[in-house]
Structure 1
Amino acid sequence: MPGTCTSIINMRYQDGSEGSASNPAKFNNQDYEQLRDYHVRRQKLFVDSSFPPDSVSLGRLEALSGGMDRLVQWRRPKNAAPVFSSAGTSRFDFGQGSVGNCWFLAAISSLTMHKKLMGQVVPMNQSFDNYAGIFHFRFWRYGKWVDVVIDDFLPTIGDQFISVHAKGGNEFWVPLLEKAYAKVCGSYADMNAGLTTEACKDLSGGVPMSYQLHQVHDANHDEELWRSLSNATGCNSLICCGTASKDVGATHTGLVDAHAYSVTGVAEVQMLVRVLNPWGKQEWNGKWSDGSSLWNEVSREDRDKCVKRNDGEFWIELEDFCHYFNMLSLCCENPNFLDGDVTCQWKCMIYDGSWVAGSTSGGNLFRNTFYKNPQYRIQVSNINKTEVEDKNVLISLMQKGQHQNRKSAKNYPIGMTIFKTKQGRLRSYFFRSNRPIKQGQQYTYERELIEQHSLQPGEYVIIPSTSESHMSTDFVLSVYTKADAKIM
């Protein structure tokens, strides 16, 4: 098993500066400490006017169609003898509710296995003692950590909470965390359907990478995939996976179509992957499932890895994993998990930028306005020649969308082009006679585009762009370089 990854040297936020992990920015300019102290002194319960307990904050949930939304009442958990967390946090603490956000809860399940990061997202010094009806959580949003304040009104129908529920009945760290993320997204309904890569990014600020499992398996790259999974597990990554919308035969195996799961472990025996259903129940029933006779054929030590209980967690062989799941996402604090080189130090610089139509939005490379796009320079001084095509630079381009609410946000096709040159700002004539280091521009409508590069020593210019010049939006460019490279 690989060792622990080394840390990123983040050159944007010095520890203690606003937006850093130790001093997150205040979401909606709400100061948790001041608000809590105010309400405790006056013995009043906090009501969040920026995310009030009403139908707008709930949104139009698909599970509450046919007028059921009119039955919703918002209640505080005070009458349920509540606790924030009874004995730490565990992936077995909760089960999904009526919000279609398995993609987010799968990421939460993975987060619970990484206590340091968990403490960053979920401040554990909160409780219902000295009660004021106010809580807070932290998320990484577009290049910085933000602190999100909420009240503890939760949506109910009858006596049942319709959001994620604690299996113990009176533990509320997960329902409150879900509410905080709903506030960031715009409403509970805005959490319906999503990508685990998006949730993992917002819970860690790390480097996400996705694999199309069917393609990997068909290309006979199972060994490479297994190395990536092992590296990611050793580097404390958030790991999730998902099934296709209609996978042939999957419904007969206990798996759920179009559903997100978390990967909670791997075992060398038979290349087994441990997977958790965020429902907290309904498991795989094929080979190596809890009741499989194959566990009788391995050593007692390996047999003890299988815990026979209906908690949603199960083991599955890598070959079946690639067949029945269609997507795997990995997200780690730094890029070391990609090649398993856990001793390598990385630097990271994060830039805020904008494409503005008529000004800094130049469109794609074949437009004569391409030179107007923002340009960023890096210098690579060395490359590991003992490693074939050493991936010494990783670039993330993330667009912010055009609407505050997640589901309404409009994404544009974004891409980035890299040129090797010592020149200053590149003008239009440069692009008529010079070619980028990679032919064929890739554009994607997804929120984030990730590219890895093996760059020889020299100076380079990174040019992020939208596919057309009339598109205006903000973006965040993150450049990860191995310690022997320099960001200019």
Structure 2
Amino acid sequence: IPPYPLVNMPESGNCTSIINLRYQDGTEGSPSNPAKFNNQDYAQLKDNSLRRRRLFVDNTFPPNNQSLGDLEGLSRWQEAQVEWLRPAVKYLICFYFLLVSDPVFCSKGASRFDFDQGIVGNCWFLAAISSLTFKKSLFGQVVALDQSFSDYAGMFHFRFWRFGKWVDVVIDDHLPTLNNQLLSVRSKIGNEFWAPLLEKAYAKVCGSYADMSAGLPSEACKDFSGGLNKNYELQEAHSAGHDVELWNALSRATKCQSMICCGTPQKGLVNTVEETGIVDAHAYSVTEVTEVHYYGSKVKLVRLMNPWGKTEWNGKWSDKSDLWIRVSPEDREKCFDRNDGEFWMALEDFCYYFQILFICCENPNFIDGDVTSQWKSMVYDGSWVAGKSAGGNVSYSSFETNPQYRLQVSNINKEEEKDQNIFLSLMQKPQQKNRKRVRSYPIGLTIFKIPPGTPQGRVRSSFFKRNSPIKLRQLYTNDRDLVEPHSLEPGEYVIIPSTMKPYMSADFVLTVYSKTEAKIR
């Protein structure tokens, strides 16, 4: 990848899929050829295990308390009682729990109703899994569905998008158990194991099960897709009268099978159940939106799923609400009175009781509604090195030393007001293997328009003294993924990712999404 790329953007096409220019050739890190996490080759390891007739044991994520981590709410005495058992070996999980059926990896396809949350505080991750089950092609990319307990070697593998590339994560199938049940996520039918094994693979990526405690669904959705995240502050959107805009975004996101999750604010203790049935400081998935006719008016409804698999909203339009009696039989069929954690609520109640909405999609079409546009993306790996390329924000004289990316915009849709033709995503790579110990710096993006005739290559400090950024107010954030939409007029620009202060060494990934066809040179 050239250090200072140029992006040309001719006229748009009609395909709504995202085209990743980095991996067109199927190189390592592409969906078809993921990189090997911890340099573990699944096919080779499985072949060795079968040939030696020994079940695989993953020494990089061993079945002991090191992989469990220091779980909140689990006493030292309980930690000592944890047993790591396999699903398919005599005297282990299926035998130990007196399950009648043999273990299966995935029975009759994956569903949001397949699992319940365990004692690990990873509702954010399970809400993302629930959303992932709606996107079958992407689910098959993350969860290789050709796996089974036939030709058994005691191992499985899963794929995640991690900071610019897909990685293949190998695990053994030892699962932590306590008091005759799986310690964490568990299957509702008992003998299905895709969800507990997927959770274990992600725990390995995070460092331990304990390192999965607390987080945002957008993090897992990004790791399931490499897609673009968009967050909405719900009470702000509702109070500002932007419900129509929010509803349109939800409707578009649902139609394009985006992963949609949301979260409630923390009012007291985490996971406190309010009188309404809503859980504080808790993540949910959004599984559908619809409109029903109620006394001549249309009511906008949002359907949500609690990862606990139970505990539901009990207000208006809940499963037992009398309002369902007053709608047409067709609309009434949308409501199921069952204690499965899924329920409907009106949009205004959703905005009142929930704090934030997360939408993640492989392309940005759900944001601006231009569903016919083709998007292309390019991913760049970069580094801020103290004393060399970590120049800090624009107020520092060292700003010019930051990495620079020159972008050539050739057109913008004049018929669409403030056409958002460029999206930028900046991710700071972790400096620690354990997710909870990750140290991150405030990061930001600064963009300047380059006047015609400016020499190619790096722009120097004199340029920054004479010109102002296109956004006068520069925001820096500790968020894992900084996403910025832009409406850029035709011309040349320079994109400068930076930390807020100089001498902050870190690696990053910059993704440029262009609404029209892009060429890198």
Shorter-chain TM-score above 0.5: yes
CA offsets 1:201-254 (integer angstroms, 9 cap, x no match): 001110001011111111111111000000101111000001001189970110
Structure 1 CA distance, aligned partners of 2:469 and 2:520? 19
CA offsets 1:42-101 (integer angstroms, 9 cap, x no match): 211000011001111100000213532111111111141311012110000000001100
- 1:259 counterpart (274, 279, 282): 282
Residue 469 of structure 1 corresponds to 502
Greater mean alpha carbon deviation, residues 319-328 or residues 61-70: 61-70
Residue 160 of structure 1 corresponds to 181
Distance verdict in 2 for CA 1:344–1:227, change over 3 Å = same
> In the alignment, is residue 301 of structure 1 matched against residue 330 of structure 2?
yes
Superposition pairs of residues 49-448 of structure 1, within 5 angstroms: 49-78=59-88, 79=92, 80=94, 81-246=102-267, 251-269=274-292, 270-421=299-450, 422=452, 423=454, 424=456, 425-448=458-481
CA offsets 1:458-486 (integer angstroms, 9 cap, x no match): 00100000001111100000000111555
Residue 29 of structure 2 corresponds to 19
Structure 2 CA distance, aligned partners of 1:5 and 1:295? 40
Structure 1 CA distance, aligned partners of 2:73 and 2:148? 31
Instruction: State, as a whole percentage, how many aligned pairs show the same letter.
Output: 66
The one-letter amino acid of 1:16's match is G
Structure 2 CA distance, aligned partners of 1:231 and 1:7? 14
Structure 1 CA distance, aligned partners of 2:509 and 2:212? 22
3-state SS of the aligned residue for 1:382? coil
Superposition deviation, residue 158 in structure 1: 3.0
Q: Extract unaligned runs of 5+ from structure 1.
A: none
Structure 1 CA distance, aligned partners of 2:77 and 2:476? 41
3-state SS of the aligned residue for 2:459? coil
Distance verdict in 2 for CA 1:158–1:484, change over 3 Å = closer
Structure 2 CA distance, aligned partners of 1:16 and 1:42? 32
Structure 1 CA distance, aligned partners of 2:448 and 2:391? 16
Structure 1 CA distance, aligned partners of 2:30 and 2:84? 34
Superposition deviation, residue 404 in structure 1: 1.1
Structure 1 CA distance, aligned partners of 2:78 and 2:19? 50
CA offsets 1:3-48 (integer angstroms, 9 cap, x no match): x971112110015221111111110110101111111122110000
Structure 1 CA distance, aligned partners of 2:179 and 2:308? 21
Superposition deviation, residue 352 in structure 1: 0.1
- The count of corresponding residues between Structure 1 and Structure 2 is 485
3-state SS of the aligned residue for 1:163? coil
TM-score by length of 1: 0.97
Superposition deviation, residue 364 in structure 1: 0.4
The one-letter amino acid of 2:303's match is R
The one-letter amino acid of 2:511's match is S
Structure 1 CA distance, aligned partners of 2:381 and 2:27? 16
Greater mean alpha carbon deviation, residues 53-62 or residues 155-164: 155-164
Residue 53 of structure 2 corresponds to 43
Structure 1 CA distance, aligned partners of 2:392 and 2:244? 40
Superposition deviation, residue 401 in structure 1: 2.2
List structure 1 runs of 4+ shifted beyond 3 angstroms. 247-250, 484-488
Structure 2 CA distance, aligned partners of 1:233 and 1:373? 39
The one-letter amino acid of 1:337's match is F
Which structure exhibits the higher relative contact order, with contacts defined as CA atoms closer than 8 Å and separated by 6 or more residues?
2
3-state SS of the aligned residue for 2:46? helix
Structure 2 CA distance, aligned partners of 1:24 and 1:341? 31
CA offsets 1:397-421 (integer angstroms, 9 cap, x no match): 0001221111001010000100110
3-state SS of the aligned residue for 1:40? helix
Structure 1 CA distance, aligned partners of 2:164 and 2:301? 35
* TM-align CA RMSD: 1.5
TM-score by length of 2: 0.91
The one-letter amino acid of 1:354's match is S
CA offsets 1:175-220 (integer angstroms, 9 cap, x no match): 0000000000000000000011101000111000101111111111
Structure 2 CA distance, aligned partners of 1:140 and 1:22? 12
3-state SS of the aligned residue for 1:138? strand
The one-letter amino acid of 2:237's match is V
The one-letter amino acid of 2:398's match is T
Q: Extract unaligned runs of 5+ from structure 2.
A: 1-13, 95-101, 293-298
3-state SS of the aligned residue for 1:240? strand
